[in-house]
Amino acid sequence: MTTILETQNLTLTYGGDPIFQQLNLLIPKGKVTVFIGSNGCGKSTLLRSMARLLKPQQGSILLDGHSIASMPTKEVAKQLAILPQGPIAPEGLTVLQLVKQGRYPYQSWLRQWSQEDEDHVMGALAATRLTDLAERTVDSLSGGQRQRAWIAMTLAQETDTILLDEPTTYLDLTHQVEVLDLLFELNAQQQRTIVMVLHDINLACRYADHIVALKNGKVFAQGKPEDIVNEEMIHSVFDLQCQVSYDPLFGTPMCIPYGKGRKVLDNAAVLV
């Protein structure tokens, strides 16, 4: 497996409490990887540490074989972009102005704004279908459009790897699918490595090539969704009783949780 990101004996704490100890993890290059796990298991903490936003207590993170801690900040930003959960743009900032921020790592006293920068910004707007909304303010957009604008900024950054912390949070189902479809296309068409945190297991199974299930500071299971997502894993990681069937459209694992609710069919027959 060719890797783009790797943790070696990584130890992370949050508020003085250990989250991960001696964690070894490989992120496959050119694939969509999704972190799943119960609330508070450290998914977002791990993602932020991979972007060098959190300093590990021990161990190291390798980006394309190089220790990320020893790399200049702008060099990291040319290879890896992160979209945190619920980013907020300054009031009145237009989509175009936001996307241009993605070119910051390439600017210096010797290298000012160029046609190359302009081309990358326009390309990012086109890829996210935001060209017609370029002059709109970010705060005037719908939730799905706003998330696409932030993704466009990361595309303009021209990195091979994009990390996203719960990119579908606060979005309705239509916009969740819209954002995940966009990320899927970026991976399929541009071979971008996508690493994200998702709470919806069924969407994770539909879009991920590689799932990492986290529990108690360790990797409980990892691999293709169809290889690792089953009733036993869901119960162990989420303490949830469920039935795992297959998505009728895609054939990927689909988690159907037990619980209370309105029962229509005693025999669970499929409605036609």
pLDDT at 266: 62
Pinpoint the alpha helices (H) of the chain.
43-50, 73-79, 95-100, 115-127, 143-156, 173-190, 201-207, 225-228, 231-238
Q: In this predicted model, which residue has the larger pLDDT, 34 or 112?
A: 34
φ/ψ of 128, rounded to 5, equals -100, 10
pLDDT at 272: 43
On the question of pLDDT at 240 being above 80, the answer is yes
Are the C-beta atoms of residues 171 and 86 closer than 8 Å to each other? no
Note the pLDDT tens digit of each residue in 189-202. Answer: 989 999 999 999 99
Domain 3-230 belongs to what architecture?
3-Layer(aba) Sandwich (3.40)
On the question of pLDDT at 271 being above 50, the answer is no
Query: What number is the average pLDDT over the span 194-223?
Result: 95
Query: What number is the average pLDDT over the span 121-125?
Result: 93
The DSSP result for 123-158, as a single string, is HHHHHTT-GGGTTSBGGGS-HHHHHHHHHHHHHHTT
Mean confidence (pLDDT) of the chain = 90
Are the C-beta atoms of residues 255 and 229 closer than 8 Å to each other? yes
pLDDT at 263: 80
Query: What number is the average pLDDT over the span 86-92?
Result: 86
For a pLDDT cut of 70, what percent of the chain falls above it? 96
Every domain of the chain and the residues it spans: 3-230
pLDDT at 87: 84
Rg of the chain taking only CA atoms, in angstroms: 20
pLDDT at 89: 85
On the question of pLDDT at 128 being above 50, the answer is yes
pLDDT at 188: 94
φ/ψ of 105, rounded to 5, equals -60, -20
On the question of pLDDT at 209 being above 90, the answer is yes
pLDDT at 233: 96
Report the predicted TM-score, pTM, of the whole model to 2 decimal places: 0.88
Note the pLDDT tens digit of each residue in 3-27. Answer: 689 999 999 987 778 899 899 999 9
Q: What residues pair up with 214 in beta bridges, in sequence order?
A: 219
Note the pLDDT tens digit of each residue in 152-193. Answer: 999 999 888 999 999 988 889 998 999 999 999 999 998 999
According to DSSP, residue 18 is labeled E
Query: What number is the average pLDDT over the span 129-156?
Result: 92
For a pLDDT cut of 90, what percent of the chain falls above it? 64
